[in-house]
Amino acid sequence: MDIPPENKDNNSEQISIVDSSNKDDSNELLEYTTHPIKAAFVALIVIFLLYQIGGGLLTFLIFGLDFAHADMNALRLLTAGGQILLILAPALIFSYLVYNGKVSKVIRINALDLREAGMFLLGMIPLIILLQNFLYVQNYLIQKLADSNTFFMYLKKSLDQVDKLLSESYGDLMKANNFFEVILIVFVTSFIPAICEEVFFRGFVQKSFEQKLKPLIAIFLTAMFFGIYHFNPYGLIALVALGVYFGYAVYQTDSIFVSMILHFFNNFLAVVLVLIFGNEELLNSNVTDEKGIIMQVVSFISLLVFFVFYLILINRYFNKKKSVRLT
């Protein structure tokens, strides 16, 4: 690949984990019709209103509030259709309008090195486990705060109500009576979100933020909105952490397919565990005894150290790859 003359003097500099210098064509700045950050926030608001409010209203008009007696397969298909029409389609439209039709560059529709996909996929295993450990520790601390402070007690009760509503609706969607319904559940809760949400968040939103912000900030902001969009109060931090990992993977590989694979793997694993152990058992992340929480803290710290070390190895791989590419 030819190196632009203005970048030749910087070739010897070390490339950081999300270095924006020495860019090659894979992470080039794009021409745009609207300020990228403004476009990203407009898209976040519009798609939030379309999917969360418009989609919720449509679901209510069709099925009412009694999901227990609704046709679950029809509800699942409506959920999938909502993601396609109210998240994926608007994301593609925004990409086309804001970036002069260069949809593939915005979304990063590029071939994915299977070796790199495997590296990031392998990293999901310790990440998922350490985030589960984190949830145990987080919920233990929240309970302690609620026991000692009236404000936190009422706050926890409010969060518990939201969490209960989400768990019940999620549990209804995950109940399968036959193999066909298992396939449909995987399709609706794993395959479709992996495509639609990644095209929107790691595609249009993150790419837009990257046009004006440092990559690390763009990745984190995108992950933050990704977490907020899921309306999961107790899982917010874990969702943001997953979003950061997805965003980092996309930035380094310059392929949206890597985050689609990671997203699918995360959701598919959750589906399998729910089908095996049940929704209530899986979502119960409360630890009440001191011995149990100490074990969770030790496990969390150990896995965190291992995961950080693994990220360092991944980072070294991409630094070396970029150095070779720029010589």
pLDDT recorded at residue 58: 81
Residues of the chain with pLDDT under 50: 1-17, 19-25
- Long-range Cβ contacts of 55-61 (<8 Å, 24+ apart): 55/82, 55/86, 58/82
pLDDT in tens, 199-241: 999 999 999 999 999 999 999 999 999 999 998 899 999 999 9
C-alpha 210/C-alpha 36 separation (Å) is: 9
Residue type for 88, please? L
Give dist(CA 160, CA 172) in Å, integer: 18
Number of C-beta neighbours around residue 46 at 10 A: 14
| pTM greater than the 0.85 cutoff | yes
What is the maximum span of the chain, computed from C-alpha positions, in angstroms? 67
Task: Give the model's pLDDT for residue 277.
Answer: 79
Alpha-carbon separation of residue 142 from 69, 306, 317 (angstroms): 35, 26, 39
Q: Are the C-beta atoms of 232 and 92 separated by less than 8 Å?
A: no
Nearest residue to 174 (alpha-carbon basis) of 81, 285, 73: 73
**Three-class secondary structure assignment of 257-277:** HHHHHHHHHHHHHHHHHHHHH
Residue keyed to tokens 């996909």: 117
Residue 111 exposed, middle or buried by CB count within 10 Å (0-12, 13-18, 19+)? exposed
